[in-house]
Amino acid sequence: MDHFQLRAGTLHAEDVPLDTLAAEVGTPAYVYSTATLSRHYGVLREAVDAHPAAFGDALIAFAVKANSNLSVLATLARLGSGADTVSEGEIRRALKAGIPAARIIFSGVGKTDAELAYALDVGVRQINVESPAELDRLIAVAAEKGACPDIAIRVNPKIGAGGHAKITTGGEGDKFGIPADEALALYARAAASPHVTPVGLACHIGSQIIDLTPLEAAFRLLREMTLTLRGQGLSVTRLDLGGGLGVPYSGGAETASVADYAAMAAGVLEGLEVEAAFEPGRLLAANAGVLLARVIQITERADGRRFLVLDAAMNDLVRPAMYDAFHEVKPVTPRDGDLIAYDIVGPVCETGDTFARGRDLPPLQAGDLVVFTGAGAYGAVMSSEYNSRPLVPEVLVDEARWAVVRGRPTYDEMLTRETVAGWL
């Protein structure tokens, strides 16, 4: 459930009409709902807390990559969320938003020595090690600092899942994690080092997973590995179950419920007495955000094709171009009339800049406003200035109040980062 609803014929973000926001902030703009973020966090927290014996003092660590806006992170921080991070930049954002280091997990296949050193300096909760080579580098960095960080070994369970091949991470050929047998050996090697403390195992097999079966298989593998390691006298106190649970992008999509997901995971972890961590990104943020855009014009062809040309483009929301992703498009003030099939496109100069083909919508006119729903995760974070289009602003709504939480850069600001080489 989200808080973008029609009221008196106009789509609102909580109590704020979106046409008002468009007039004040301009378009395109990302708009986030505090109530929706809180609700999604609360639903997951409640589902997890329903299984205290299985999950212990469980950490929910929001995957910052999904939406790294400081106000979104601060909203989640106030609810008690931790952060799953994959770069120094993300750690810095999480800290700045008020997420304590003790709730920050540092993941990623290619952490540099400098990033590892930074993570040790700020004292993150846990570093998820993804390869033997990374363990060696971490040990060297930690030894130099006299540190002994808690680490988890990320397992590649050879189980890939997710909404698209490009967002599947647990498959055998994927770059993420360490195959189970190697991971067991690496865990033992880490335990023998005075410079790291292996505390657990981690996995994350993909994103937009709507069926629990592959997740359950991966969690079972973590369970077996935990028992094997304990059988060798090694301590395993934490299991990081990753993120990946999908969300409905359209009304009809069947996604596993959060309660079923938690119950499944609890069933698998039962009796292990570990502390669980969850790293949801999309689940918390996707349906807490929309991309607000305006119709520039409607281009009609003699063959009857109608292009709805928006002021938002693939550089602002790349998911349809990159993953053939579906985002619902809704008029902010729907007009009466029969549905019309539109090809929904942006102004960027490539055919990939097509959000949808033949999408049936109420009749639209130039100047009308529309939103893309489900744009709160992997939306603004993946945007670029392609075609020299300035990054779009981000707005946070909380009941009747709202704030521009990332401003729209002026053209001058966009250009000022560059210099013309002195010899030109």
User: By the criterion CB under 6 A, which residues form the site for ligand LLP?
Assistant: 63, 65-66, 84, 107, 167, 169, 204, 207-208, 242-244, 279-283, 319, 323, 377-378
| Residue pair 161/114 in contact by the 8 Å Cβ criterion | no
| Residue pair 393/407 in contact by the 8 Å Cβ criterion | yes
Whether omega for the bond prior to residue 28 falls within 30 degrees of 0, making it cis, is yes
Burial label, 141 (beta-carbon count in 10 A; 0-12, 13-18, 19+): buried
Shortest reach from residue 45's CB to ligand LLP, in Å: 15
Shortest reach from residue 121's CB to ligand LLP, in Å: 22
Q: Which of 185, 253, 349, 415 is catalytic?
A: 349
Kindly provide the b/e burial profile for residues 290-317, where b requires at least 16 CB atoms within 10 angstroms of the residue's own CB: bbbbbbbebeeeeeeebebbbbbbbbbb
Q: Is 249 annotated as a binding residue?
A: no
Q: Is 30 annotated as a binding residue?
A: no
Q: Is 214 annotated as a binding residue?
A: no
Q: Residue 52 contacts by C-beta under 8 Å, 6 or more apart in sequence? A: none
Q: In which element (H, E) is residue 333 found?
A: none
Structure tokens at 22: 């468009």
Looking at the Cβ atoms of 68 and 107, the one nearer to ligand LLP is 107
Strand pairing class (306-310; 340-345): parallel
Shortest reach from residue 232's CB to ligand LLP, in Å: 26
Shortest reach from residue 21's CB to ligand LLP, in Å: 24
Shortest reach from residue 80's CB to ligand LLP, in Å: 18
Looking at the Cβ atoms of 281 and 289, the one nearer to ligand LLP is 281
Looking at the Cβ atoms of 33 and 342, the one nearer to ligand LLP is 33
DSSP 208-220: SB--HHHHHHHHH
| Residue pair 389/317 in contact by the 8 Å Cβ criterion | no
Looking at the Cβ atoms of 195 and 282, the one nearer to ligand LLP is 282
Looking at the Cβ atoms of 122 and 322, the one nearer to ligand LLP is 322
Q: Is 281 annotated as a binding residue?
A: yes
Distance CA(53)–CA(272), nearest Å, equals 9
Shortest reach from residue 126's CB to ligand LLP, in Å: 12
CA-nearest of 2, 14, 7, 25 to 332 is 7
Looking at the Cβ atoms of 143 and 322, the one nearer to ligand LLP is 322
Q: Is 304 annotated as a binding residue?
A: no
Q: Is 80 annotated as a binding residue?
A: no
Q: Is 32 annotated as a binding residue?
A: no
| Residue pair 5/12 in contact by the 8 Å Cβ criterion | yes
Q: Is 282 annotated as a binding residue?
A: yes
| Residue pair 107/154 in contact by the 8 Å Cβ criterion | yes
Looking at the Cβ atoms of 126 and 295, the one nearer to ligand LLP is 126
203 is catalytic: no
Tell me the HSE value of 141 on the side-chain side, using a 13 A CA sphere.
19
Shortest reach from residue 157's CB to ligand LLP, in Å: 13
DSSP 346-371: -SSSSTT-EEEEEEEES---TT-EEE
Catalytic residue ranges: 349
Binding residues for pyridoxal 5'-phosphate: 244, 279-282, 378
Instruction: Give the residue numbers of the binding site for substrate.
Output: 282, 319, 323, 350, 378
Residues belonging to the binding site are 244, 279-282, 319, 323, 350, 378
